[in-house]
Amino acid sequence: METRILGKTGLEVSLIGFGGIPIQRCNQWEVDEIVENLFLEGVNFIDTARAYTNSEEMIGEALKKWGRDHFFLATKTPQLSYDAVMADVQTSLNELQTETIDLYQFHNAKTMAAYETIMSPNSGYAALQKCQELGLIKHIGITSHSYEVLDRALDEEKFETIQFPYNIVENKGAALFAKAKLKNVGVIIMKPLAGGAFMNADYALRWVAENQDISVIIPGMDSVKQVLENTKVGNDFIPLSHDERKIFEADANALGKTFCRRCGYCSPCPQGIDIPMQFIVEGYYRRYDLEEWALDRYRSFSANASDCVQCGECEPRCPYNLPIRDMLKKTRELFDPLI
């Protein structure tokens, strides 16, 4: 597996890391198999978060079998205040069943106001500094979907890593990563597959990996099959050929800008709708000529877009500010006449 240095942390991390969001859908035995195959394929960087329900717990249990020492562990807190951050660190240590966490990050600092709260005296950042002093964590990072927040974080030079979305249709981070490289700040890439929206994951990961300013790519994976497919990029990295690039660009152009990244932050829906899955099946129907498969899947859902009551609880949670209610309406208009 190709490795790169995670900025000033000095950690030599695998080019392909593991994003722990989707294992919330898995059983423990499935996570055990995933972690085993991460080890076998040379992946040494695991990213999870307090917000990913039981992700930390299942990763911690799997590492009892396959070895804590083989991996750098990164997790995150959405909390801002000193006491809440301290409590989250202790919970993460317990769930991951470890004495120290390699990288602890502030999770999705959405606004400049949130950032300023984190950095104010005796607040969240001070808590992580204290955890460093106690040996509970080794390094401090920050994640955000806001370019402006991370740009300021780089200017203030308080963080050792940043984490930001980056793929062919969300590529404004390139300038941010170049700045981070100059400041020796590690760059962690989330959403490299745009939440599974791309037809060809191999092309998507290789496109991201071509950027030498990034340190590690963390696609979310919930199966051994995905681990084996995604790690090929790091184990035998080859830049995209001219023809491959043209194919991938056409896929990206068809996708556009307003699409679901499957982050799951919109959940839970009061009506029980799996919102990301609605948009996945719609995409397969419209773009990938899999009409029959998509319609069958839509019919199989216990709740679907037709059950949306337009309450709007999902929309404030979306980091991309997507018009989810309007998108669900379009999904309903596509499928309902076919049922």
| Interval 71-99: pLDDT, tens | 999 999 999 999 999 999 999 999 999 99
Question: Helix, strand, coil shares of the chain as percentages rounded to 5?
Answer: 50, 15, 35
Mean pLDDT lowest among 2-6, 153-157, 261-265: 261-265
Per-residue pLDDT, averaged over 30-35, amounts to 96
The tokens describing 53, both together, are 């329900």
The tokens describing 64, both together, are 């009892």
152: left (phi over 0), alpha (psi -120 to 50) or beta: alpha
What pLDDT is recorded for position 184? 98
Per-residue pLDDT, averaged over 6-30, amounts to 94
CB-based contacts of 290, cutoff 8 Å, min separation 6: 284
Identity of the amino acid at 95: E
CB-based contacts of 258, cutoff 8 Å, min separation 6: 322, 323, 327
Write the CA distances from 244 to 37, 118, 210, 240, integer angstroms. Answer: 28, 43, 14, 6
Quickly state the pLDDT bin for 251 (edges 50, 70, 90): confident
Per-residue pLDDT, averaged over 193-205, amounts to 85
Write down the pTM of the prediction: 0.83
141: left (phi over 0), alpha (psi -120 to 50) or beta: beta
Counting beta carbons within 10 angstroms of the beta carbon of residue 310, is it exposed (0 to 12), middle (13 to 18) or buried (19 or more)?
exposed
The tokens describing 216, both together, are 């590690």
Write the CA distances from 54 to 96, 191, 247, 248, integer angstroms. Answer: 10, 20, 38, 34
What pLDDT is recorded for position 177? 98
Neighbour count for residue 317 (Cβ, 10 Å): 13
The tokens describing 257, both together, are 């800008």
The answer to whether residues 72 and 101 touch, using CB atoms and an 8 Å cutoff, is no
Measured CA to CA, the distance from residue 323 to residue 330 in angstroms comes to 11
Q: What are phi and psi of 223, to 5 degrees?
A: -155, 155
What are the helix (H) ranges across the chain?
28-40, 55-66, 82-96, 112-119, 124-133, 147-156, 173-182, 201-209, 224-235, 242-255, 275-287, 291-300, 324-335
Q: Could you give the 3-state DSSP secondary structure of residue 105? A: strand
- Between 284 and 121, name the one with better pLDDT: 121
What pLDDT is recorded for position 257? 66
The answer to whether residues 72 and 46 touch, using CB atoms and an 8 Å cutoff, is yes
Beta-bridged to residue 181, according to DSSP, are none
- For the cut 70, the answer to whether the pLDDT of residue 288 exceeds it is no
Neighbour count for residue 129 (Cβ, 10 Å): 13
Task: Report the first-to-last Cα separation within the chain, whole angstroms.
Answer: 47
Q: Could you give the 3-state DSSP secondary structure of residue 42? A: coil
What pLDDT is recorded for position 196? 72
Q: What are phi and psi of 138, to 5 degrees?
A: -105, -40
Q: How many helices (H) and strands (E) does the chain have?
A: 13, 10
**Residue in this structure with the two tokens 């202790």, named with its chain if needed:** 90
